[in-house]
Amino acid sequence: MKPWKGVLLILFALIVAAAAYGLTIVRHGFSALATPSAVEVFAATSARKLAVPSSYRQLRNPLTPSTDNIRGGMEHFSYHCSECHSNDGGGQTVFGKGLYPKPPDLRAPGTQNKSDGELYYTIENGVRLSGMPAFHGTHTVPQTWRLVLFIRHLPQITPEELNDMKGWDPKNEADPAHF
């Protein structure tokens, strides 16, 4: 077989696979309640990795992980982020469950293994085609770095800290069933 025929055969197989996948999605609809397929997870993860400029990947948090800085990030997170990510970072909220793609579990290795700069960039610039908004201009630089510190703290968050956070978000007090 000539080499170009092999390339055409592979290209044809990829087109057929993409068409079959597209038909499957169309038949089942585009509900935000669905769990993303492996193809969607791979595409979204790859796109996110490509979206962060390499200069941000090298950034280190200029703030020290002091009690005050982590608490500042915790308070800011409770007010601005918990509606989708939940106070514990797990994303099990009314909004989080209804988003597609779902908010990542911020305690999990997929988030914790990102560099400080990647987390900072995501908060500042958001993630296209997801529910993650860009907060550039609405959060100060120190507030964003404190959020990064708090995200790093989430795997060790204590029940006492979670209890404190319940009182910091006025939306939580107005609608306790919301969370």
CB 149 within 8 A of CB 75: no
Residue 1: predicted pLDDT:
61
Structure tokens at 2: 């000539």
- Mean pLDDT calculated for residue range 150-174: 85
3-class secondary structure, 103: coil
Residue of 109, 120, 127 lying closest to 58 (CA atoms)? 120
What pLDDT sits at residue 14? 84
Give percent of the chain with pLDDT exceeding 90.
Answer: 54
Rounded to the nearest angstrom, the gap between the alpha carbon of residue 176 and the centroid of all alpha carbons in its chain is 24
More confident of the two residues 51 and 177: 51
DSSP 37: P
Q: In the numeric block, which tokens belong to residue 12?
A: 């044809």
Assess contact for 112 and 155: CB atoms under 8 A: yes
pLDDT top residue among 2 and 64: 64
How big is the CA angle at 99 (ends 97 and 103), to the nearest 5 degrees? 75
Tell me the pLDDT band of 131, cut-offs 50, 70 and 90: confident
| Mean pLDDT on 134-144 | 94
For the chain, the 3-state helix, strand and coil shares in percent, each to the nearest 5, are: 65, 0, 35
Residue 46 has pLDDT above 50, yes or no: yes
Q: What is the pLDDT of residue 179?
A: 40
The more confident residue out of 35 and 148 is 148
Q: Can you give the pLDDT at residue 178?
A: 43
Report all structural domains of the chain as residue ranges with CATH numbers, in order of start. 38-178 (1.10.760.10)
Tokens 């087109």 correspond to 15
